[in-house]
């Protein structure tokens, strides 16, 4: 059913259709409206077999979900930025305990200085945790991602937490016409959560045991193996979703103009803008293509190598920085391209919600193709450092 709704509603609606058992809420801009919409649904009795808990912090919210998920419940929460970092201790723990918790992260910059506006610094800080990360371009993709997230996370070959990343404000608060899913479609796509091992008095098990050196390493190898298997499972689920919904979002990446010599690569809502920019540059005669990276973890290194095997130059648009080194996507891409002869230009822009005008972006990429623009922060104002 087509409806013009805001991003946060499209997420909340999809979560409702996935029949969660425990939903935890803690407010943080710009995700708050997601949990508010769910609260309304809960108050109106639209969430069956569900308990909605107003946690006292994001750390508490994630911890409640750990207990709930271990007991066999399907769980959900949404957070970002400070909240994500606050719950990071629990998320690392949940990943190690192989609990398929689904989180929507409404990408927001990290303090200090405080910023409620969008960049990818928060989810990048969690990239080592063992959590699957999917970045969506628009609200329809966010809506579609939720049932897929549960399917993938709860798959016995995976069993890891799943983070759907959507740009704060740019997507969460934007109105879009969304083809809202029907309950019957989600029910046939997503079966009820039936964990193999869970807390029950019928079969007492101990969760979260500690592992001395003689055995810890194998647990981490097993997690990495699960991440590797997730690549294939995600591919399967993406393909099945395309058939079920009629919307094909691609695989771990989407490549536009695969024969191009120059590629622009990025994640999130900026990709929507880049589609237009790439078209305009091609009209000007540049052999430029676009790579939308959807799955950041597990990182699809082989897919990227294959897509860029004949590329002359790759222009990476990062919206986060690993302080002391480079933009996160650039670091990972360069590692994936080790040995390749392609040139990589690493550009960091749009931090803290800094606007990226289309003309500015077009000029930037054009100059990068022509070798007139190098790596570094882009769109920075003229400033001087002062100690007050």
Residues that bind another protein (CB under 8 A): 21-22, 49-51, 53-57, 59-61, 63-73, 89-90, 93, 96-99, 159, 196-197, 199-212, 215, 218-219, 222
Q: How far apart are CA 234 and CA 256, in angstroms?
A: 20
Q: How far apart are CA 8 and CA 175, in angstroms?
A: 9
Q: How far apart are CA 353 and CA 367, in angstroms?
A: 23
CB of 65 to another protein, least distance (A): 6
Q: How far apart are CA 367 and CA 371, in angstroms?
A: 6
CB of 200 to another protein, least distance (A): 6
CB of 182 to another protein, least distance (A): 24
- For another protein, the closer CB: 97 or 116: 97
- For another protein, the closer CB: 132 or 159: 159
Q: How far apart are CA 375 and CA 256, in angstroms?
A: 23
- For another protein, the closer CB: 24 or 271: 24
- DSSP secondary structure string for all residues of 45-69: T-STT-EEEE-SSHHHHHHHHHHHH
CB of 113 to another protein, least distance (A): 26
- For another protein, the closer CB: 197 or 335: 197
CB of 205 to another protein, least distance (A): 5
Whether residue 56 has a cis bond before it, omega within 30° of 0 = no
- For another protein, the closer CB: 202 or 284: 202
Closest CA to 119 of 331, 383, 329: 329
CB of 196 to another protein, least distance (A): 7
Between the CA of residue 131 and those of 102, 150, 203, what are the distances in Å?
Answer: 10, 13, 28
- For another protein, the closer CB: 222 or 370: 222
């Amino acid at each position: 059913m087509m409806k013009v709704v805001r991003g946060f509603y499209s997420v909340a609606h999809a979560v409702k259709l996935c029949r969660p058992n425990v939903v935890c809420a803690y407010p943080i801009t710009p995700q708050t409206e997601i949990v508010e919409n769910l609260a309304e649904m809960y108050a109106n009795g639209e969430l069956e077999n569900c308990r909605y808990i107003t946690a006292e912090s994001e750390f508490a919210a994630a911890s409640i979900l750990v207990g709930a998920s271990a007991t066999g419940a399907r769980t959900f929460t949404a957070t970002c930025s400070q909240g994500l970092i606050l719950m990071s201790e629990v998320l690392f723990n949940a990943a190690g305990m192989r609990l398929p918790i689904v989180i929507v992260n409404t990408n927001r910059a990290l303090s200090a200085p405080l910023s409620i506006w969008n960049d990818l610094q928060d989810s990048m800080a969690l990239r080592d945790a063992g959590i699957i990360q999917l970045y969506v371009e628009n609200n329809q993709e966010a809506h579609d991602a939720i049932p897929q997230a549960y399917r993938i996370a709860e798959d016995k070959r995976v069993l890891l937490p799943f983070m759907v990343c959507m740009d704060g404000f740019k997507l969460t608060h934007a109105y879009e016409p969304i083809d809202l899913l029907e309950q019957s479609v989600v029910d046939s796509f997503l079966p009820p959560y039936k964990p193999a091992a869970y807390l029950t008095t019928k079969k007492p098990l101990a969760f979260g045991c500690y592992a001395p050196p003689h055995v810890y390493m194998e647990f981490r190898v097993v997690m990495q193996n699960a991440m590797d298997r997730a690549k294939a499972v995600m591919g399967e689920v993406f393909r099945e979703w395309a058939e079920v919904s009629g919307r094909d979002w691609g695989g771990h990446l989407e490549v536009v103009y695969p024969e191009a010599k120059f590629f622009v690569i990025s994640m999130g809502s900026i990709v929507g803008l880049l589609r237009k920019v790439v078209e305009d540059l091609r009209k000007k005669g540049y052999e430029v293509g676009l790579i939308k990276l959807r799955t950041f973890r597990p990182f699809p290194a082989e897919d990227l190598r294959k897509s860029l095997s004949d590329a002359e130059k790759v222009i990476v648009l990062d919206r986060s920085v690993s302080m002391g080194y480079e933009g996160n996507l650039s670091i990972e891409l360069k590692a994936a391209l080790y040995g390749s002869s392609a040139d990589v230009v690493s550009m960091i822009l749009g931090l803290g919600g800094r606007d990226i005008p289309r003309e500015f972006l077009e000029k930037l990429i054009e100059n990068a193709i022509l070798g007139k623009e190098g790596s570094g922060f882009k769109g920075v104002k003229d400033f001087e450092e002062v100690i007050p």
